[in-house]
Structure 1
């Protein structure tokens, strides 16, 4: 139980930091990341907040991942819900200022990318399942046999293209983040000597099976006692 508590603390620290990093890159005002271009396009189309758009997209992706046979963890569901909630909390209360200059914008964007890298370390190392977007990448990689790089680039280019058509903000920062973010995440992982391949995730279906087995065992012991 104490181990699971520590895992969830690590998970939620990562999700909150992820939201902070995303809002920093948004408020850098130099162009949004591909997924955030898509989320912003949805806000223009529907009138909902960026956080709500992130949650809505996450719900659809989680359902798609389940259809594609990808196992879901409790972290997958928390990622789907809480990053968007934390984003709205930060943005609607103006906790992070909007940059009005290129220099300050670059500082905010690179700081945001570093925090996203740190957040990725925390939430992935919790071992409670991939986020909806990473889960889609993994599921499509398994289904198609194509490389992770090809699948990830294809997904993000598609999100960017649709988001741009919907009016999402594409700028120099979009190109920079598309190229640099992966390297920053890799740098953070090396900094903490973190190997993604060594993580053993706990999935919801496994936990439900264990819970069912415990309930049946308890009922059997009570029947035997009678």
Structure 2
């Protein structure tokens, strides 16, 4: 009997297979993937500005950075950088591979957030705060999936998620939610500020990213032979 073909990548609750930086650059659909990568990273930074500007609660990683800064006396920026370095160390046992997206994530997301924060009007009412937050949450999840789906490598924190998904075989949404909740808990224990929006983001980000990723992951010819490697 002939072997059945693998189901399309977007029909599977999987992260895309692991590729080296060279494989990422040699893979087909480069113009589309590059445009998707840039749009995702810029949109992701804009989403962060919307979430912060709403005043309804920082992201889990911001809570952790704030708590670490509070405990150590470091600046918020220095604490953020140290956390990113620590996360990258965990990439080693997870066998996560960096790529162009990893570098551009560091260079573009913060810059896009700064520009968006300067251009976006500050919300003046609770309704406007909720609108900023709701739009920021959806844009956060969609653009996260958009840049990951371009398959040029993950940013430091998203690489922790994708690596853990491949190693554990667990669905993306459960891994992402577990990471978010753990980071919030540690950050809060260290003295970081947790708002209602922080809790919602921690719980909702994983399911939303998994849903969007089904539609944003660019399929490649090599997927049929190599297949995806994790749930």
SS at match of 1:162: helix
Q: Mapping of 1:1-226 within 5 angstroms?
A: 4-42=30-68, 44=70, 45-49=73-77, 54-91=80-117, 94-144=118-168, 146-185=170-209, 188=212, 194=215, 196=217, 198=219
Structure 1 residue 3: Cα displacement: 5.1
Structure 1 residue 22: Cα displacement: 1.0
CA offsets 1:186-206 (integer angstroms, 9 cap, x no match): 56557xxx16484689xxxxx
Runs of 4 or more consecutive aligned structure 1 residues displaced over 6 Å after TM superposition:
none
- The answer to whether the Cα contact below 8 Å between 2:173 and 2:206 also exists between their aligned partners in 1 is no
- The answer to whether the Cα contact below 8 Å between 2:96 and 2:163 also exists between their aligned partners in 1 is yes
Structure 1 residue 183: Cα displacement: 4.6
Gaps of 5+ in 1: 202-226
Gaps of 5+ in 2: 1-24, 223-231
Taking the aligned partners of 2:129 and 2:79, their CA distance within structure 1 comes to 24
The TM-score normalised by the length of structure 1 is 0.68
Larger Cα-atom Rg: 1
Structure 1 residue 143: Cα displacement: 3.9
Taking the aligned partners of 2:218 and 2:129, their CA distance within structure 1 comes to 34
SS at match of 2:193: coil
Partner of 1:215 in structure 2? none
